[in-house]
Amino acid sequence: MKNKGILELEGMEFHARHGCLEREKIAENLFTVDFRAETDMSAAAESDRLEDAVDYGRIYDIVKKEMSVHSDLLEHLAGRIVKAIAEAFPELEHFSVRVSKRRPPVNGIAAWSRVTLQHVSTNTLYKAE
């Protein structure tokens, strides 16, 4: 029996300098990253062992590393995070990453700008259950 579940790591906060404008490259801004994965949790639910679970400490470390590398666009930043997580956790068939930027530079008031990218493994497209 499969114990399909949802693993989330929400509200990871980073101060970084992502953006296209010169002022965004100089002054740090607050960014948050949210991770959400649908995955089989059967082994971890049975064993209570970290080896049988997705190590969200490693997910955080990957996000932190990618957040330290400048990107002009949130789409590019989110894409790098998705790629790095997919490479480190090939067993994750479907997950999403949302990157939020506090007070984006627009001609008005906006609390956040956000980009969400979803990863769907091509292996799942042909998998029989």
| Cα(70)–Cα(127) distance, integer angstroms | 37
Q: How far from chain centre, in Å, is Cα 10?
A: 9
| Burial class (CB within 10 angstroms; exposed 0-12, middle 13-18, buried 19+) of 121 | middle
Which string of b and e fits 44-72 if b means at least 16 CB within 10 Å?
beeeeeeeeebeeeebeebbeebbeeebe
Residues of the chain above pLDDT 90, percent: 89
pLDDT at 11 over 70: yes
Tell me the pLDDT band of 70, cut-offs 50, 70 and 90. Answer: very high
- pLDDT score, position 127: 46
The pair of structure tokens assigned to 13 is: 């906060």
Tell me the pLDDT band of 124, cut-offs 50, 70 and 90. Answer: low
Domains of the chain plus CATH, in order, are 4-126 (3.30.1130.10)
pLDDT at 104 over 70: yes
